Amino acid sequence: MAWEGELRRIDSCRWEIPEGTVPGMLTNAVVYASEDMLSKIREDNAPMQAANVACLPGIVGSSMAMPDIHWGYGFPIGGAAAVDAESGSISPGGIGFDINCGVRLIRTGLTAEDLDGKMDALMDALYANIPSGLGSKGLTRVGHRELEEILAYGSKWAVENGFGIPDDLNATEEGGCMPESDASKVSDKARKRGLAQLGSLGSGNHFLEVDVVDSVFDDTAARCFGLKEGEVTVTVHCGSRGCGHQIATDYLQQMESYVKSVGLALPDRQLACAPLDSKLGDDYYKAMSCGANYAWANRQMITHWVRESFESVMGVSAESMGMKVVYDVAHNIAKKEHHDYDGSGIDVLVHRKGATRAFAAGRSEVPLMYRDVGQPVIIPGDMSVGTYVLKGLPGSMESTFGTACHGAGRVMSRKAAEKAVTAGQIESDMRNRGIVLRRGSDEGLVEEAPVAYKDVDTVVSVVCEAGLAGKVARLRPIGVVKG
């Protein structure tokens, strides 16, 4: 089913779905895209979901869709919406099942030449030390007491237990911990699913990538982020695994019942929500915060094993190499934030689902070391082309409650990808590009084929032209681990 409704041009990279297009809309929806992207966006019918989000009780400003928009659960992936922090509602569909799926960027202090003749050994070590694939389990077993602390403290627990260094926390959104968490709001089933999976990538679009800084566009920001042309970095993309998925499932069921009980008219049952000031809404926010903390602990532990893998191959310590976290960003989360809106300040809850916070210079939430240039924004493309590093700009604060895209975004379903390409073709193409590949299964590889994704150059160009973020550097992959 394709979107046949209106997409009214605002400018070269913004398109409006007017209020009233879908019954119950409380505001308009704005889609960020180039004109060339519109046909595929319409084909996916994700604009319908962006319009539906405009019906969310308490929404402030527009329903927003980034250029990586594609069909999701309730909200489109690439969608964002702010609601009033007092009178608004919270919707698990606006966060996603993989709570705090996000990206962490690590600089290594090495050059590509340092890895000559060692890439196969390095990729073998990374693949062995960091479990990946469907149902993968972490190497470290934690008990119920430790899991309670992980849900409460996130990355802080990991660092305090030897999985990293304090500086890692300074380079992580929220310091790697949502303090509003309350583990008593997380079900036994969610806890059980999380116990065995801590420190693993999982499957789907999750990955670990070894890159080289291929291009620098902003010397000042790149220097501030510690990125130098020719140096090696590592990008980690994963989330809260089964723990977060179960938290979302548990509360969606409760919210669907709530919506029916109060007779709330929503255009899609997948937008099920509850008022923030209700017990159900507050319980979910606290449980979602636990899921976010689990994800940050997960990426923190993976960072530890990335360092150990490099140490085993290079024969020197991670500290002496200069392996440091550049930044860790969440792109499936809801955050309570203060923003300027319509001439005054307002407290809002910003849902970001497949969308990344992109705060400009000066915001107190940006780590002090980056506050003069803006928050690092990490945007992966498909596995064959690598990742962009951007910085948040004032335009995001003015237009999108400090939000930008989160990646290239799918343009083809997983089933369609399976029909379009074979695992052998992908392996051959990666080899020809000089990329060393390690993967869990043929099926998982094909589902995430490069052809299934939008052109990340185009996606990034849109958010930059719109003034939401600015290019800092581009990273070229030389090694990929796929789940």
What sign does the CA torsion over 168, 171, 176, 177 have? positive
Q: Quick one: residue 7, left, alpha or beta (phi over 0 = left, psi -120 to 50 = alpha)?
A: beta
Distance (Å, whole) CA 21 – CA 38: 18
Distance (Å, whole) CA 405 – CA 403: 7
Distance (Å, whole) CA 359 – CA 365: 8
Choice among 70, 304, 351, 406 that is catalytic: 406
Report the candidate in 135, 116, 139 with the shortest Cα–Cα distance to residue 126.
139
Tokens of 130: 């960091």
The type of residue at 463 is: V
Report the candidate in 110, 79, 83 with the shortest Cα–Cα distance to residue 93.
79
| Helical segments of 315-437, H only | 318-321, 394-399, 414-420, 423-432
Is residue 206 annotated as a catalytic residue, yes or no? Answer: no
Distance (Å, whole) CA 210 – CA 318: 15
- CB contact at 8 A, 63 and 18: no
Burial 179-196 (b: 16+ CB within 10 A, else e): eebebebbeeebbebbbb
| Number of residues assigned to the chain | 483
Query: Torsions phi, psi of 443, nearest 5?
Result: -60, -45
- CB contact at 8 A, 87 and 96: no
Tokens of 87: 């009178």
Tokens of 6: 């209106």
- CB contact at 8 A, 247 and 332: no
Distance (Å, whole) CA 134 – CA 132: 7
Residues 41, 44, 50, 52: what is their CA dihedral angle, to the nearest 10 degrees? 150
Characterize the bridge pairing of strands 77-84 and 89-90.
unpaired
* Residue tagged 């000042």 (tokens): 220
The type of residue at 169 is: L
Distance (Å, whole) CA 78 – CA 87: 24
- Residues forming the active site: 406
